[in-house]
Amino acid sequence: MNLNFSLCSSTSSELSDSILRRSPVGSRFFSRELVRFDETWKKKCFSNNIPRCGGGGTKKVLASSTHIAPGHLEDSSIAAAAKKTLPRRGLGFVRTLLIDNYDSYTFNIYQALSTINGVPPVVIRNDEWTWEEAYRYLYEDAAFDNIVISPGPGSPMSPADIGICLRLLLECRDIPILGVCLGHQALGYVHGAHVVHAPEPVHGRLSGIEHDGNILFSDIPSGRNSDFKVVRYHSLIIDKESLPKELVPIAWTIYDDTGSFSEKKFSTPVNTSLSPSRNGSVVSPYVDGKQDRHILMGIMHSTFPHYGLQFHPESIATTYGSQIFKNFKDVTVDYWSRYKSPSSRRRMINETANMQVPSACQLLKELSRTRSTGNGSSYYSNPSSSLSAVKKNGVDVIGLVDLAYPKPHTQLLRLKWKKLERLVNKVGGAKNIFMELYGSNRGNDAFWLDTSSSDKDRGRFSFMGGKGGSLWKQLTFSLSDQSEITSKHAGHLLIEDAHGSTKKRFLEEGFLDFLRKELSSISYDEKDFKGLPFDFCGGYVGCIGYDIKVECGMPINRHKSKAPDACFFFADNVVAIDHQLDDVYVLSLHEEDTEETSFLNDTEEKLITMSVSSARKWKDQNLPAIESSQRKASFVPDKSREQYIKDVERCMQYIKDGESYELCLTTQNRWRIGNTDPLGLYLHLRERNPAPYAAFLNFSNADLSLCCSSPERFLQLDRNGMLEAKPIKGTIARGSTPEEDELLKFELKLSEKNQAENLMIVDLLRNDLGRVCEPGSVHVPNLMDVETYTTVHTMVSTIRGLKKTDISPVECVRAAFPGGSMTGAPKLRSVEILDSLENCSRGLYSGSIGYFSYNGTFDLNIVIRTVVIHEDEATIGAGGAIVALSNPGDEFEEMILKTRAPASAVMEFCSGFQ
C-alpha cells in the first residue's frame, strides 16, 4: 500500500522563510517531499559503514537472525514465549535511555520510569546524538539496559520528526525497546508496515483494549468490558494489513470505541473474536456486516525484544499504565538474566546492579556539565555535533538544573511586619484600602494582585503596593528586533530606581536569566516571616509577556510586541489582605545595615484612622451599565469571523495529519480609547467580573496598564517547595435562569470535547512539572472540576509536585512557560504552527502576572480576560483550544464569549465619559 497523503494541507510557502530555515524542527513539517521516507537517506543511514551490534547489513539478514534472541536459541520466535508469564525475579536497577521526540508528554514517562526503575532515565532528544555517540553509550560503555521511544508530533516517515529512532530500532536488535505512539508507528514503519491516517483523529479520548496476554500486559485485564481503558493521542495508525511477518499484533481496539473520561460504561461490544492470518496479523473481514474496524494498539517483533503501543500508558487517565512500565522492566530484567553471550557481562542487572547504576549516573552528570555551559537552546543543536560540544540551554530535566543555585548571597534583606486584626470590613473592603493608599495618583506605579472573587476558598490573599521604599525599582524589558540580536532572547532592560534615576542594560542572556540572578543574590532569615499565613513578603511583582517563550526553548518570535515583553516592580513595601479572616498585614523590607522606614507606622495610622465617611468615598465609583445603543465605539477583532473559522479549519487539518493534538488559536480585539483612567476601568471590571487571579498593574514610564480578571493560575511555588498549576480548558456561558444555569453546567461537565481538551493539558502540565519535580511526586488532586464564575462556567484541574532542591524558582517557570492551556500539545510544534497562523504578537496576553518573592516563592496567573492598555490602545486577547472534535463556528463563538465580560466593562466605562 502506498502512502499518498500529505502531512498537512498547507505548503511550505505558507510559512515564513525564517521559520523554515531556522532548524530541523521548524522545517520538518508541511513539505510533501517528507511524506514518504527518503530511500536514499535510508540506505545511507543504515549502511554498513558503522559497526553494527549484530552483524549483517540487510533487512533480510536482520529478520532471519536467530542468535539475537537470548535464552531462545532453540526457537527463533519470541512470540510464543512472550505470551507466557515470565518468572518473577528480585529486581535491581534498570537504566533507561529515553528518546524524546520533542513531545509534551515525555517527562510523564520519565516520572513513571524514575520510580519503577529505581534510577531516573537519561533523556535525549531524537536529534541530539549521532549514531556513533549512541553506539558508544549503548555498547562500548554499556550505560543502558533498555530504550523507550517517546510519542511526538509528525510522522515516522519524516527524518526530522523521528531522528535517530529508526536506526535504534534496526541496529539495537539485542536491547529491549518500547515505542509509545510515534515510537510504535516507527517500529512498524522501519520493518515495512505502512503508516496511514486513522479513520478519525483521536486525542484525549479513551478506548477499551483487548490484548493477547503478552507479558507486556501481565496482570492487566483484557476486553472492552474490562476496566482497562487507555488514553489515545494520535491521528495516524499502522495499517494492520501491511504488517510484515516479523511483527506480531498484541493489542487492538475498534475505531469507534471511544469515550470521554466521565463515561463509566462503554457501548456494548460487538464480536471481537479474531483469528490470526498467515503473518500473524489480526484478520476480521467483517464485524456486524461492516468492514473490519479493528485498529492495532500494540505490536511486538517476533525475534527482537521490541514492543510498540499506539496508546499512551503515561496519561493520567490510562488505567494500568504503571503496570505496563513495570512489565517492561520485568521484560528487561528477564531478558538480560538469560543472556548467554560473553558480551552481556555488564547486563546482569540483578547481580551487579550496584556496579551498573553509577555508569548511568556518571553519564547524567557528564550531560549536565556539557549542557550547562551554554546559553542558547538545544532544541536547535546540530544533530551531528559531538557530546562534548556545547549544548545550549536545553529546557529539560538536565538543562534546568541550576548548577550555580543557590549562588553566593550579596544582599541580606530583613523583613518587618505588623498585623491589623479584623480591619478589612471596618474600612469598607480591599478596594477602599487600595484607593486610600494608592488611588490619589490614579494608581500610577502601583500594583494590586487582587483576589476579587467572592469565593474566598479560591483566593484568600490580596497584595498591593506602590512606589515609595528605598529599595523600590521598576524593570522594563523589551526583546530586541531580530535584525540586531546575537541570540534570539536578547533584549534591552530599563531600570528606574526609587530616586527616579534610570539606566539601560543589554541582556544577552534574556530577562529570565537576569531575574534568576537577581533573586539568587538575595539572602533572608526565615524567622523574619515566621507566623505569616502567606508566602509573598516583598520582591518582584509584574508581568511576563507571551514572547518570552523564546527564553524557554520555544521557536523565534515571528511577530514583535508593541508593548514591553516584561515589566516588574521590586516591591519593598507591601500591604496584604486576608479575605478569610478579615486581617490586614503591613510589611516592609530593608537592607540589614540600613534603618527601617516609616512605612509600617504611617500605613497603620492611615488605615486605622480611615473614617466611615472615607470608607464610603469609593463605594459608588463604578458607573452603571450603558445601553448598547449609547455606545459610540466597540472592539474590533484582528480577524474576521470568516478568517478565524478558516484558521480553525487549518488547525484541524494539522491535527488530522498528526502535527498536534490540540492548538490554542487566539486573536486580538482592539479599541483606540484615548486618554482614559485605567484604575477606574479596573474597578469597574472587578465589579462586573470578579476573579481569583485578578490584578491591576500600572507602569507609568512604559505607558502600560493591565486590568486583569483572570480565573486561571499558571504556576505557584510555596515555601514548602510544592508546585501547583491549575489549567482551565472548557468554558460555557452562564444560564439566564437557575434551571438553565445548572443544565449548562452539567453539559460542560459531560462534554467529551471539553474533557478531551482538559485531559490533554493536564497531561502536558504533568510533563512540565515532571521536568523539575521529584520523581513520584507529581499528582492530580482535582481532575476536571467545574467552577462557576460571574459570567461563565469553566472546567479546572489541579496538578501538584514537589520541586527538586537543585532547581531555582525561575527555572520552574522556564520549564512550563508559556502555560500549556494557551499553546496546546505537543507544545513546541504547536507554538510553531500557531506562530504561522496568528498575524500579530500576543504581547502580554497569554503570559503571566504575579510575584517572585524574595524568599524563593512565586505565584503567577495566566493573562486571560484581561484589558491591556498601552499608548491609548486597549487590547483584549481571546481564543480557544482546537481539537479533532471542534466545530469551527462554535470555536469562533467561544472566542467572542471570552471577550464579552472585559470588552463590555471597557465600553461601559468609557461610554460614561463621552
Q: Strand 96-100 to strand 573-578: parallel, antiparallel, or no bridges (unpaired)?
A: unpaired
Angle in degrees, 0-180, between the axes of helices 752-770 and 809-816, rounded to the nearest 10? 140
Task: Decide: 786 and 794 in contact? Cβ < 8 Å.
Answer: yes
Residues 6+ apart with CB under 8 A from 342: none
Find cell 477583532 and name the residue.
637
CA distance 229 to 248: 22
Helix (DSSP H) and strand (DSSP E) numbers for the chain = 23, 39
State residue 34 phi and psi, 5-degree precision: -95, 0
Amino acid type, 521: S
Choosing from 8, 165, 172, 181, the catalytic residue is 181
Radius of gyration of the chain (CA): 29
CA distance 350 to 86: 15
H helices within 35-164, ranges in order? 39-45, 59-64, 79-82, 106-117, 131-135, 159-162
Residue 165 zone, left/alpha/beta (φ > 0; ψ -120 to 50; rest): alpha
Choosing from 312, 579, 590, 793, the catalytic residue is 312
In order, the DSSP letters of 699-759 are EGGGTEEEEEEE--EEEEE-TTSEEEEE-EEEEEEPPSSHHHHHHHHHHHHH-HHHHHHHH
In order, the DSSP letters of 43-61 are HHHTSTTS--SS---SHHH
Q: Strand 146-149 to strand 583-591: parallel, antiparallel, or no bridges (unpaired)?
A: unpaired
Residues 6+ apart with CB under 8 A from 41: 159
What cell does 163 get? 531522528
Active site residue 543: no
What cell does 468 get? 515609595
- What sign does the dihedral 369-374-377-380 (CA atoms) show? negative
State residue 595 phi and psi, 5-degree precision: -75, 155
Task: Decide: 838 and 557 in contact? Cβ < 8 Å.
Answer: no
Range list of β-strands (E), 255-399? 275-276, 282-283, 286-287, 290-291, 294-301, 306-309
Residue 458: how many other CB atoms lie within 10 Å: 18
What cell does 374 get? 551554554
Find cell 523539575 and name the residue.
772
Q: Strand 636-637 to strand 662-672: parallel, antiparallel, or no bridges (unpaired)?
A: antiparallel
CA distance 377 to 161: 18
Residue 269 DSSP one-character state = P
Residue 65 DSSP one-character state = -
CA distance 813 to 553: 12
Choosing from 314, 551, 662, 908, the catalytic residue is 314
Residue 582: how many other CB atoms lie within 10 Å: 15
Range list of β-strands (E), 639-679? 662-672
Coil, strand or helix at 161: helix
Burial class (CB within 10 angstroms; exposed 0-12, middle 13-18, buried 19+) of 676 = middle
In order, the DSSP letters of 756-772 are HHHHHHHHHHHHHHHTT
Bridge partners, 177 (sequence order): 147, 306
Active site residue 314: yes
Task: Decide: 450 and 686 in contact? Cβ < 8 Å.
Answer: yes
Active site residue 312: yes
Residue 3 DSSP one-character state = -
Range list of β-strands (E), 777-834? 779-788, 792-802, 824-825
Catalytic positions, please?
181, 312, 314
